[in-house]
Amino acid sequence: MAEGYTLPVWVAAAARAALLALQGQPFGADQPLDLVHPAEIRPVPVVAAAPLGDGQALAVARCEPGALLDLTRGLVVWVLVRCQPLEPEQPWLQLEAGEGVGVHGQDRALCHSAYARQLLETNLRPLLPADQALVLRLVFPQGRALAERTSNAAFGVVDGLALIGTQALVQSSAAPDQLALARSELERRAGAAGFNGDLVLVIGENGMDLAPRLGLAPDLLLKAGNWLGPLLVAAAEAGVRRLLLFGYHGKLIKLAGGIFHTHHHLADGRAEVLVALAALEGLDGADLLALHGAATVEAGLAGLAARDPATADRLRQRIATSVEQRAEAYLARYGQQATRVGAVLFDRQRQITAQGPQGQLLWQAFQA
């Protein structure tokens, strides 16, 4: 299987099979699924589905992400469904987190992306009577162990794997194909009627999930992956004149050091960049040693904030400003001086930590 599907697709396929089993329909090993992104119907295999009695049914799918490396390879997905009368003011689709499914640490709500819900709603609503509500309980038996190998906990997601993803097909953020896809989408948008030269490059799935929640207009968002340098140039060449970089500060800090391919296998240097910027902010001695020895940028900034909150705030601001300056200098090297670049950074608690001077202006301008 050269290309494979993201976790939300396998959950949706299992949910569809379980609902049909609950309704007494014969089992179909391939579920015809509307993938939404891309907008086409494809058969997605499931392992089994059966009614359990007491108004419930269970279906099982096994994730296959295709040829690309992906944490979900072989992950078993269980979806338990039950129907109940639809009450006034009640959503018709309710999601419950079972074992191995990630939840937000603060409110314990199941962590899922807008695309995951859209996929479920698109494929399940036509099968459900108008007066019925559908409750899905998701279980990823290996999810808790696999989550320890992700950055989910860094963004407040606990107990398992988050159901995130912004499209059906698995992409590798480090693979050249990912850059080609991003450039193709960029060209499509730039050629569309009404394009006004505005764009938000978002780093990572967490950023894609967070950005619209914080009010950024969804039609401005483009997932950047790790190929930030070439994509910056491509955006400027395509006519983008106001470009906002939105991402986790532990990732975007690399740009402040002039590193424009951000995959850790190719370049890191985050500790060195953090220390250099801290020295420019006036820190010395023990503070610099503590920053350099911290396990992560997040931990280093948190330790500094505990000792000297005001200085930590200034350092965060310097990071955002440096990201903007280095990004514009990078574009200038390729003859692209007309594009204004802003930067907005967030932390593991999914809170905005810093906005560069341009980032603050663009953030306000791009609110949905």
pLDDT tens digits for range 352-367: 999 999 999 999 999 8
User: pLDDT at position 177, please?
Assistant: 57
> Rounded to whole angstroms, what are the CA distances from 237 to 181, 234, 327, 337?
16, 5, 15, 10
- Token pair recorded at residue 327: 């990004």
Q: How many CA atoms lie within 13 A of 257 on its CB side?
A: 21
Task: Report CA dihedral (286, 151, 247, 168) to the nearest 10 degrees.
Answer: 170
Q: Which SS3 state, helix, strand or coil, does residue 275 take?
A: helix
Domains belonging to the chain, first-starting first, are 7-161 (3.30.2110.10), 176-365 (no CATH)
pTM score, two decimals?
A: 0.61
- Token pair recorded at residue 144: 């808790």
Q: Each residue's pLDDT tens digit in the chain (368 positions)?
A: 457 899 999 999 999 999 999 999 999 999 999 999 888 999 999 999 999 999 999 999 999 988 665 688 899 999 999 999 999 889 999 999 999 999 988 889 999 988 999 999 999 999 999 999 999 999 999 999 988 877 677 667 889 999 988 888 876 544 555 667 778 888 888 888 889 999 999 987 778 888 998 999 888 998 887 778 888 999 999 999 999 999 988 888 988 988 877 654 445 688 899 999 999 999 999 999 999 998 888 889 999 999 999 999 999 999 999 999 999 999 998 888 999 999 999 987 788 999 999 999 999 999 85
Hey, how many other C-beta atoms are within 10 angstroms of the C-beta on 155? 25
Distance CA 359, CA 362 (A): 5
Distance CA 108, CA 80 (A): 19
**Where do runs of H (alpha helix) occur along the chain?**
7-22, 114-124, 143-147, 176-190, 204-213, 228-237, 249-256, 270-280, 285-293, 297-307, 309-333, 357-365
- Token pair recorded at residue 126: 């036509």
Nearest 5°: CA angle at 175, between 172 and 181? 80
- Token pair recorded at residue 235: 């955006």
User: pLDDT at position 3, please?
Assistant: 72
Distance CA 97, CA 356 (A): 38
